[in-house]
Structure 1
Amino acid sequence: MHNEVRSVDGGSSLVQAQYIGTVNQQLPGPERVVPHETPRALRRLVGRNEQIEACLADQRVPLVVFDGLTGVGRRALARYVAEQVKDRYPGGAYYTDYATHTVDGESVISAALRSLLRRDGVRDEVMPAEPGLASLWRRRSSGAAAVLLLENVTESEQFLQLMPGGRDWLVLVAGRVESRLEVREVGGETIPVEPLDDEQAAELFRELSGLDADPDDPVVAEILGYCGGLPLALRNAATLVVVGRCPSLPELAARLRRSRAELMRSDRGPNKGNPVFEATYQEATEPAQRAYRLLGAYPAIDFTPPVFDLLIGLDEATSRDILAELVLLKVLQEEHGRYSMHPLVHDHAASLSGLDDEETHEALARVVRGFRNAAYYADAAMIGVERYRVADAPEIADPFSGDRRANGLAWFEENRRALHELLPVAEKIGLVDEIWQIAESLAAYYFDRKRQADSLSSLRHGIKAAEEAGNRAAEARLRSLASRPLTDLEQFEQAGDFVRRSIELADQDGHLVLRASVREFAGRYHDLTDQPELAQQRYRESIELNEAAGEARGEALSRMFLGQSLGDAEGLRELETAHRAFGELGDSRSAARALLITGQVRVRTGLPGGVDALTAAAEAFQTSGATFYEAQAREALHGALVVENPVEARSHLDRAIQLYRELGSPRAEKLASENDGGLDGAES
């Protein structure tokens, strides 16, 4: 094989080639024009000054990722920053929206790279195959520094593959981050974009709607609560005002009360009108989609991993993997071991689930029973296993140890909202036994915290469920317990009806301890409604029934309340007997209550030893964390000492006010204004 070179007419040369390989010829392209492609930004962003300042600081960070929930304003923030910094970059500003790169048969990353290269002057005829796209982009972007804005990013590779070759470029990303580590590895920063607070949300809503939106106005607070601080939701709510569908705040609140679905519908682009969370849901794996739907059926928007395990009914390792995926998708937030779902995300998840679905029914039943079991043992940890209960102990190990009372109380504090929200769900799916069992366990916690309205709400659910279950003992017990918050709320007529019905049902059931217990509660009702003789009759009946049943603690409780009701020398003897019995039983909390009442009786009757008894009771309550009873003891000490020792009395009063405030009791402000409180008797 050879080539021949010879002269031809005209003086030129001729090359004869027997074989020539591939010839690549670069066609001249159009002259490169400096791009300025980023969309126009909003003139001002509400509540984002901190994030904006972090981006505008004079530092060469090659990558900034705005990470957060869909609808939180990641795109608006990225566009605003791009607008503010673009003059610093002589190479111009590039823009890519991944939502538009859905090319059949090609990855979105390759489609985005091809689009960038075309805009940089590379013709399709010489465009390399997919493996060479990223390297060509890096070569082409190694010159003058420019800004690259990427929107609707759903995975980190979508921006890592587009990182330019030039060191001084800035890449701004609006979307999700799978791993912040990958951002840090290329010298970038992740800026979390959180929902707006109430003041910021009100400011944005005012600007968009033109209405005077005071966040302290209950109607405005309701609207802002539905929007959850998401700018997209606030924009859509304001749109309802501007277009005249809801021209007033009350009309808007009423519309959103019926449905919040339109708050999170896309307000622009090809998906306008579609739920913005639907795309995220579709990206999830099938197990994560199933978990998402079940979370929509679960009534609370926050939960612990064990609750999630019960809900999805899978092993712990699989459950944690699904939780991690939902966090990466930004539909869940994790903080201090608890997970939460934005209310509007929960609304979308709820729209995909339904209580009629057998799988959902089973999942919720697992959660309800799990809470029922834990609530039983939390109650037992607070009050003691010897306390009378209609419900039997669950067939699981007691999860509470160490400082059992404190741990049980903490469990109720953490889970009381979820318990309340589960009761109507349990009612809908027919779990009547579980409802009254939860209500019985909650009662002790509410009595300790003095949350009368919440107590009454849960007990009403329990009473209805016990009636439906035909369980007279449970109904009697719960009606008896409900008489306390009804009395505290001054609903005396209904409290009396509950007391009388509880005795009827207990006598029909025949259980001695139950019959004794409802009579003790009846006695306390009669005492609080100025019927001391009838109260004392009920206490003595309760003592007799407890003695017959061999129930020493119940007998001691009835003697304690009988002593309080009598309030004389005979009463002090009953109180001494009760105090001694509690000591023998190891019930230090009830022993302290007997001391508190003893001190009050002695102070009221002018007998010696009252202050000493009250002091011992206050110290015992402080040690055990019995906040309400300590407040009562401190208040009684103030009343006992205010004349003889006003300085010490004032210290007890200040402590009582502090404790009542911790409990959210209106008694705090009453004492603070009167400045001379004092209880005539112990409220128990």
Structure 2
Amino acid sequence: METSFGDRLRALRRRAGLTLEALAEASGVSARAISDMERGRSRGPQDRTLVALFDGLGLGGAERADLAAAARAARAQNASGRPRSGEPPRGVSDFVGREAESKLIAQHADGAGTGRMAPVVLIHGQGGLGKTALALHAGEELRARFPDGRCYLDLRGMDPTPLAVGAALRRLLQALGADPGRIATSEDEQASQLRAILAERRVLLLLDNAADETQVRPLLPGTGTAMTIVTSRRTLAGLEGVLRIGLAPLADAEAAGLLRTIGGATSRSASDTEIGTVARLCGNLPLALRIAGTRFASRPGWTMRHLIDRLADEERRLANLTAGDTGVAAAFALSYAQLTGPTATLFRRLALIPGDDFTAPLAAVLVDTDHHHAEHLLDDLADLGLLQAVGDRYRLHDLIRLYAAECLRTDETRPERDAARRRMLDALIDTAITAGRWYEPGHGAPPGHWRGLDPLDTQDRARAWLRAELSNWVGALRAAARDGQHQQVVDIAESMHWYSDQSAKDGPWHEVYQRSRTAAAHLPDRRQEITHINYLAWVLIYLELRYADGVELAMQAHRMADEHGDAKGEAEALWLAGAGWARAGDHDRSLTAIRRAIDVADAAGIHDACVQYLVSLGTAYKLAGRTDEAVDQYRAAIQQAQVRPMSRTPRLVALSTGHNGLLRTLTQARRWPEALAEAPATLTAVQRSGSVLQLSTTHLLIGLTYAGLGMRDAARAALTRALELNGSMVQPDPETTEAAESALAALDVPDDNGPAPPTL
């Protein structure tokens, strides 16, 4: 009859004349562990423990080999026996993606058995991201590295009453083979027993769906050869020495791959565009993708277009992302149920925010509190995975936003919703107008008593707010238009007049001025309507290069201005029409219109506009190929900008555009020494104006000038700076990019004449 490992160990100990305590002292293995081995209550020991026993017993080569073989047989018998409590549930057979996360987990497993603390990995994130699926997948991938098995426990962290610590400890101890009769009664002693067992086994613990740190901490091993993977919707920030892996939605390619895998044969006829659209509507969320793919696969008569049409309806999207007892909304509801009153209220109302992301001050307005309290509430939401926090900004996943909107409709009254929405829109509109007015003549810094979403105490801060909150203040503009708040729409657009000139490539100016033109038509002041027609004409001519359309609109404004005796509107319309004709190649009409605009503005004493038109006349001469006249005109315009009584921002803009136009003309004419002499003044003027687009262009022109003079190192530095500045804009200017890159390439080719003139 074959002798078991426990019997052999007991026989060898007695032959050596050692008690349990004596062998424990000689080997360093606890007496309890040796007793469990001898009675067959624990698995065969791992190699490190076995070597310690060999040494403690003073065994030679043959006896060592014999006992080692018995230990391996014991482990194998245990592993191949009937299923034990704690076996992991069935994972998914079509696991896709998460390669980087899986690699991190595998690398962290290398720390098991190195003498340091046993490695612990926490996988956290919102519901539906596939945390459990990743944990089970990683456990399967690591199976060979943990021959003593894997032990799974659902901690029920999202239940109204999560699994108690004592119950969790007992289940783990029993799953690991501990004698139920010898399990301690206190939680501290149970935790000590668990650590003692795990110290000698290569076991992978999978602790799924953890509630908090208090629940998890007693379950973790100390030193030894075990490893633990924990999943939780919370970040469990109080746990130390843990590798945290925060899951995000799948990458586009991974999401598409998962959809095609689940969809099976029925998805083969779908185009990449259709698959990508479904993935986007699912927010690349694994749970949503699985449900969508399953629904598609189970309906052979459907095309991918059927699925797209159903998911496109935002009010029904969550309902369509339900299959059997599984649903995206149900997954989110578990987290929502964890929220306290104020946090739940804020979560619901975040669905009202129009933009892609937001900061604490905007969230504070929704619940009528200060931003410090709002930060605490937002941190609670982020900790539970209902928000994504990046720096000081927060973002809702698209599907969570839809769920929050559902909660808002069902859990709050219409007056409560409307009041919160009105406070938020008014705050956005007021702050946007105040920020834009930093650039407007006669405005600047807000008054000391003003309180908004940002202090806006400097122009740089105003610019930063307008850029960061672009999707929010434009969303507020759209909401005002939908609500028929025509004067608010006009006020927002009017406040952006000079800011839009300096941020031409960084804003949705067509939409802004199209909406303000429409809104102004509903108001009684026709001069206001003329102004906003001209603003839209500016967008068409200067930003969209739609010269004919822009000129037609400008001439419409001119006719209205003439009818209503609006000298300012008439001059601006003539200037815009002249600019459009100049760029379209109709130089005679262009020069006539711009000269007329100058005369009208000068006669009316509109100095800000008059100097701007003087600069434009220089541009019209340049486009007509009349270089000497263009140079003279730019210099005259710069001189007038220095002596006329102008507002600060228009003066800065006139000086920057005048100097930039002069430098451009000299560069294109290859008048390199004159261009080099003009460069410092241009750079100073453009830097003062704050226009990143013009600053990028100026560095491009300076780089071309250096290249023309054979100063290649200086040219490279200036051209590289031009590319950096251009790339920093929301919408980089492609012509600047092309010209700078071409000039840099040309520097490597000998050319006595310097690079070709820019085509900007």
Letter in 1 for 2:97: V
**Selected match of 1:498 from 541, 553, 566:** 553
**Is 2:475 aligned against 1:434?**
no
Closer, same or farther: CA 113–482 of 1 in aligned 2, 3 Å: same
Letter in 1 for 2:359: T
Are the aligned partners of 1:98 and 1:112 in contact in 2 as well (CA < 8 Å)? no
Q: Distance in 1 between matches of 2:196 and 2:182?
A: 20
**Is 2:497 aligned against 1:423?**
no
Q: Distance in 1 between matches of 2:111 and 2:606?
A: 77
Are the aligned partners of 1:622 and 1:630 in contact in 2 as well (CA < 8 Å)? yes
**Selected match of 2:293 from 216, 221, 238:** 238
Are the aligned partners of 1:66 and 1:74 in contact in 2 as well (CA < 8 Å)? yes
**Selected match of 1:276 from 319, 331, 345:** 331
Give the corresponding residue for 2:277. Answer: 222
Give the corresponding residue for 1:150. Answer: 207
**Selected match of 1:322 from 377, 381, 390:** 377
Letter in 2 for 1:46: G
**Selected match of 1:51 from 83, 104, 112:** 104
Give the corresponding residue for 1:620. Answer: 684
Q: Distance in 1 between matches of 2:105 and 2:733?
A: 43
**Is 2:154 aligned against 1:96?**
yes
**Selected match of 1:667 from 735, 742, 752:** 735
SS state of the match for residue 435, structure 1? helix
Which stretches in structure 2 are left out of the alignment for 5+ residues? Answer: 1-40, 43-81, 747-754
Closer, same or farther: CA 150–36 of 1 in aligned 2, 3 Å: closer
Are the aligned partners of 1:483 and 1:498 in contact in 2 as well (CA < 8 Å)? yes
Structure 1, residues 384-420: CA drift from partner, whole Å, max 9, x if none?
Answer: 5359x9xx99983794445x3x444433332223333
When structure 1 is superposed on structure 2, of 362-371 and 256-265 the one drifting more is: 256-265
Give the corresponding residue for 2:661. Answer: 597
SS state of the match for residue 88, structure 2? coil
Q: Distance in 2 between matches of 1:127 and 1:262?
A: 50
When structure 1 is superposed on structure 2, of 626-635 and 492-501 the one drifting more is: 626-635
Shift of 1:297: 1.9
Letter in 2 for 1:385: P
Q: CA RMSD in A?
A: 4.7
Give percent identity, aligned residues only.
20
Give the corresponding residue for 1:561. Answer: 616
Q: Distance in 2 between matches of 1:334 and 1:252?
A: 31
Structure 1, residues 543-578: CA drift from partner, whole Å, max 9, x if none?
Answer: 455445544322211222234435667766654443
Shift of 1:470: 3.9
Q: Distance in 2 between matches of 1:563 and 1:91?
A: 81
Letter in 1 for 2:661: I
Shift of 1:657: 6.3
Q: Distance in 2 between matches of 1:172 and 1:606?
A: 67
Question: Between Structure 1 and Structure 2, how many residues are aligned?
Answer: 636
Q: Distance in 2 between matches of 1:191 and 1:139?
A: 27
Closer, same or farther: CA 369–529 of 1 in aligned 2, 3 Å: farther
Q: Distance in 2 between matches of 1:532 and 1:395?
A: 51
Structure 1, residues 315-345: CA drift from partner, whole Å, max 9, x if none?
Answer: 2332122112111221112222111122221
**Selected match of 2:675 from 611, 616, 623:** 611
Q: Distance in 2 between matches of 1:493 and 1:648?
A: 43
SS state of the match for residue 87, structure 2? coil
Q: How does 1:85-124 map to 2 (within 5 A)?
A: 88=146, 90=148, 93-98=151-156
Normalising by structure 2, report the TM-score.
0.70
Q: How does 1:70-469 map to 2 (within 5 A)?
A: 70-84=127-141, 88=146, 90=148, 93-98=151-156, 134=187, 137-138=190-191, 141=194, 144-145=197-198, 148-160=205-217, 170-177=227-234, 179-181=236-238, 183-184=239-240, 188-210=242-264, 217-244=272-299, 248-259=303-314, 261-262=317-318, 265=321, 274-353=329-408, 357-381=414-438, 383=439, 385-386=441-442, 396=450, 399-401=455-457, 404=459, 406-451=460-505, 454-469=508-523
Shift of 1:302: 0.9
Closer, same or farther: CA 291–661 of 1 in aligned 2, 3 Å: closer
Give the corresponding residue for 1:578. Answer: 637
Structure 1, residues 92-134: CA drift from partner, whole Å, max 9, x if none?
Answer: 624235179667xx9766776686688799999x999xx9674
Letter in 2 for 1:258: D
Closer, same or farther: CA 484–102 of 1 in aligned 2, 3 Å: closer
When structure 1 is superposed on structure 2, of 509-518 and 152-161 the one drifting more is: 509-518
Q: Distance in 2 between matches of 1:649 and 1:38?
A: 65
Are the aligned partners of 1:215 and 1:221 in contact in 2 as well (CA < 8 Å)? no
When structure 1 is superposed on structure 2, of 518-527 and 137-146 the one drifting more is: 137-146
Q: Distance in 1 between matches of 2:756 and 2:264?
A: 50
Structure 1, residues 510-543: CA drift from partner, whole Å, max 9, x if none?
Answer: 6654554444334333433445455445445544
Q: Distance in 1 between matches of 2:340 and 2:523?
A: 41
When structure 1 is superposed on structure 2, of 430-439 and 661-670 the one drifting more is: 661-670
Q: Distance in 2 between matches of 1:666 and 1:574?
A: 28
Are the aligned partners of 1:331 and 1:341 in contact in 2 as well (CA < 8 Å)? yes
Q: How does 1:507-522 map to 2 (within 5 A)?
A: 513-522=568-577
**Selected match of 1:37 from 73, 76, 87:** 87
Q: Distance in 2 between matches of 1:641 and 1:114?
A: 78
Which stretches in structure 1 are left out of the alignment for 5+ residues? Answer: 1-30
Shift of 1:483: 0.7
Q: Distance in 2 between matches of 1:66 and 1:324?
A: 18
Are the aligned partners of 2:547 and 2:583 in contact in 1 as well (CA < 8 Å)? no
Structure 1, residues 23-81: CA drift from partner, whole Å, max 9, x if none?
Answer: xxxxxxxx999534221334555223223314432425264332112111211122234
SS state of the match for residue 195, structure 1? coil
When structure 1 is superposed on structure 2, of 132-141 and 302-311 the one drifting more is: 132-141
Closer, same or farther: CA 359–551 of 1 in aligned 2, 3 Å: farther
Letter in 2 for 1:96: D
Letter in 2 for 1:57: D
Q: Distance in 1 between matches of 2:440 and 2:158?
A: 63
Normalising by structure 1, report the TM-score.
0.77
Q: Distance in 1 between matches of 2:280 and 2:656?
A: 44
Q: Distance in 1 between matches of 2:615 and 2:405?
A: 51
Are the aligned partners of 1:63 and 1:188 in contact in 2 as well (CA < 8 Å)? yes
Closer, same or farther: CA 215–484 of 1 in aligned 2, 3 Å: farther
Q: Distance in 2 between matches of 1:639 and 1:58?
A: 57
Q: Distance in 1 between matches of 2:125 and 2:204?
A: 22
Shift of 1:287: 1.4
Shift of 1:174: 1.7
Are the aligned partners of 1:266 and 1:273 in contact in 2 as well (CA < 8 Å)? yes
SS state of the match for residue 408, structure 2? coil
Structure 1, residues 573-616: CA drift from partner, whole Å, max 9, x if none?
Answer: 65444312323456344213223334556678999985256534
Q: Distance in 2 between matches of 1:515 and 1:308?
A: 44
Q: Distance in 2 between matches of 1:467 and 1:325?
A: 46
SS state of the match for residue 485, structure 1? helix
Q: Distance in 1 between matches of 2:665 and 2:152?
A: 83
Structure 1, residues 193-252: CA drift from partner, whole Å, max 9, x if none?
Answer: 333323333443343334789999544443333333432222223223322368655554
Letter in 1 for 2:656: A
Closer, same or farther: CA 444–236 of 1 in aligned 2, 3 Å: farther
Are the aligned partners of 1:246 and 1:252 in contact in 2 as well (CA < 8 Å)? no
Q: Distance in 1 between matches of 2:579 and 2:250?
A: 49
Shift of 1:139: 6.9
